[in-house]
C-alpha cells in the first residue's frame, strides 16, 4: 500500500498522541497483576525463585523484543512462554504470561482504529502489522518500566 508523506506524518502523530493512553493502560494492567512486581527483586537478592516469580532478566528479554521485533513475533514468544510454563508445572507464571498475552491482543486492536482516524480505511496487512508493532512495542516498554518501578518500591516496603 503506497502512503503519501502526509499519511506517514499523520500516522506518526497519531502514535505519539496514543502514548499517554498506552502508558496509563500499562500502569493499570500491571497494577492489577501483583504476582509480578511482588517477586522480581526478591529473587535477585537471593530469594528462592518460586512459581509466579518473574525475573528481571525475563523483563529485559521482553523489553529487547519490544524494541526490535514485530508484534506477531512478540506474541508468539509469549505464547511459547505460557506453554512452557504450563508444561513444567508452573501455573502461576503461566497465568501471568497468559494475562499479558491477552492484554497485548486487546492493545493490538487499537491499530486499525488508529489508521482509520488517519483516514486510511482499508489498510493492507503490512501496514496494519507496522502500526500494531509500534503500538505493542510502546505498550510493552511502558509495561516493563512500570514493572521495574513497582518492584523496587515493593522490595523496599518488604525490607522495611
Partner 1 sequence: MKYQEAQGILRNLISEATAQKSDVYYEYKVQGLAQDAADIFHKDKNRTQMKNLVNVSLNVQALADVFSYIKSQASKDTSTGALWREKDFAKNLIGALEQNVAKDAENLSKGIWDALKKIKPKQSDLEKSESKEIINALGDGGYNQADLKRTLRLQLVRLFVQHLEAHYIYSARVPS
Chain residues in the site for partner 1 (CB under 8 A) = 6, 9-10, 13-14, 16-17, 19-20, 22-23, 118, 141-142, 145-146, 148-149, 151-153, 156
Of 20 and 106, which has the nearer Cβ to partner 1?
20
Rounded to a whole number of angstroms, the minimum distance from the CB of residue 79 to partner 1 is 26
Rounded to a whole number of angstroms, the minimum distance from the CB of residue 67 to partner 1 is 13
Residue 93 · residue 74 · CB < 8 Å: no
Of 44 and 51, which has the nearer Cβ to partner 1?
44
Buried b / exposed e over 87-120, threshold 16 CB at 10 Å, is eeebeebbbbbbbbbebbeebbebbbebbeebeb
Rounded to a whole number of angstroms, the minimum distance from the CB of residue 88 to partner 1 is 28
Of 61 and 95, which has the nearer Cβ to partner 1?
61
User: Closest Cα partner for 29 from 152, 140, 155?
Assistant: 140
Of 31 and 153, which has the nearer Cβ to partner 1?
153
**C-alpha grid cell, residue 136:** 505493542
Residue 30 · residue 144 · CB < 8 Å: no
Amino acid at each position: 500500500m503506497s502512503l503519501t508523506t502526509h499519511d506517514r506524518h499523520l500516522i506518526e502523530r497519531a502514535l505519539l498522541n496514543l502514548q499517554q493512553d498506552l502508558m496509563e493502560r500499562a500502569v493499570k494492567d500491571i497494577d492489577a497483576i501483583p504476582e509480578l512486581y511482588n517477586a522480581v527483586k526478591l529473587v535477585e537478592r537471593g530469594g528462592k525463585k518460586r512459581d509466579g516469580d518473574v525475573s528481571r532478566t525475563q523483563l529485559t528479554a521482553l523489553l529487547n523484543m519490544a524494541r526490535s521485533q514485530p508484534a506477531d513475533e512478540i506474541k508468539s514468544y509469549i505464547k511459547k512462554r505460557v506453554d512452557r510454563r504450563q508444561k513444567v508445572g508452573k501455573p502461576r507464571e503461566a497465568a501471568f504470561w497468559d494475562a499479558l498475552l491477552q492484554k497485548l491482543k486487546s492493545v493490538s486492536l487499537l491499530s486499525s482504529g488508529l489508521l482509520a482516524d488517519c483516514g486510511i480505511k482499508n489498510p493492507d496487512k503490512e501496514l496494519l502489522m507496522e502500526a500494531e508493532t509500534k503500538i505493542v512495542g510502546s505498550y510493552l516498554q511502558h509495561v516493563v518500566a512500570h514493572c521495574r518501578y513497582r518492584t523496587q518500591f515493593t522490595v523496599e516496603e518488604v525490607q522495611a
